[in-house]
Amino acid sequence: MTTPSLLQKLTDALRCMPGVGPKSAQRIAYHLLARDRAGASRLGEILQEAVEKIGHCSVCRTFTEHEVCELCASPRRDDSQLCVVEGPQDILAIEQATDYRGRYFVLLGRLSPLDGIGPENLGLDQLTRRLDEHVVKELIVAVSTTMEGEATAHYLRGIAHDAGIRITRIAYGVPIGGELEFVDRGTLSHAIASRREL
């Protein structure tokens, strides 16, 4: 057999999705062909449309098919608070779980000089200009606690200090409702080190 069959090509193409190995790709391909051709066809269309049309918000860098995303365009958000996150998905998580009503800025990554990801790749020049307008009064850092996240937080502190703007970072520690014995060592040691007066 020289050229792969269309079914084989479909199975291979499905593997671009995270968490989809050869077995699940095969299962998905057979399922779609046998039971949901309409859904598969619609998914095919939307995938192409999404790749073509979804770009980044010119204000906050999140995903949007418009010039400015819905959240940045909304008049009902607090301009004085700006929350910096690593990815668009973090906005969704914060919106769904909290009553934060400020604005967002999406880095689309973390500082990682070894991988060639510098401040300019994260839009930090754009962020600096925004802070210089002095509309934002508080920069809230909500990046991960990985080494790159820490480096990013450190850099953000420099920018905020230069602009004379208050900078805060979300709290890290033992999850609410979590039992101490099941919490990983890093989190627990951070929670002890960051203990507060009762």
Among 54, 68, 73, 192, binds a second copy (CB under 8 A): 54
Each residue 88-127 as x (binds a second copy by CB under 8 A) or -, in order, gives: xx--x---------------x-------------------
Smallest distance from a second copy to CB 24, Å: 7
CA distance 180 to 54: 42
Within positions 156 to 195, which residues make up the interface with a second copy, using CB under 8 A?
none
Within positions 57 to 86, which residues make up the interface with a second copy, using CB under 8 A?
63-65, 70
Nearer to a second copy, 13 or 170 (CB): 13
| Alpha carbon distances (Å) from 81 to 14, 24, 136, 172 | 40, 43, 6, 20
| Cα dihedral 181, 186, 187, 188 in deg (nearest 10) | 50
CA distance 95 to 83: 11
Nearer to a second copy, 91 or 127 (CB): 91
Is residue 53 within the footprint of a second copy (CB under 8 A)? yes
Smallest distance from a second copy to CB 93, Å: 10
- Long-range contacts of the stretch 104-109 (C-beta < 8 A, 24+): 104/60, 104/62, 104/71, 104/72, 105/60, 105/61, 105/130, 106/56, 106/57, 106/60, 106/61, 106/62, 107/61, 107/143, 107/152, 108/56, 108/61
Nearer to a second copy, 26 or 121 (CB): 26
Nearer to a second copy, 61 or 167 (CB): 61
Stretch that binds a second copy, among 39-47, 119-127, 148-156, 176-184 (CB under 8 A): 39-47
Torsion sign, CA atoms 154, 87, 112, 174: positive
Residues found near a second copy in the complex (CB under 8 A): 1, 5-7, 9-10, 13-14, 16-19, 24, 26-34, 36-37, 39-54, 63-65, 70, 87-89, 92, 108
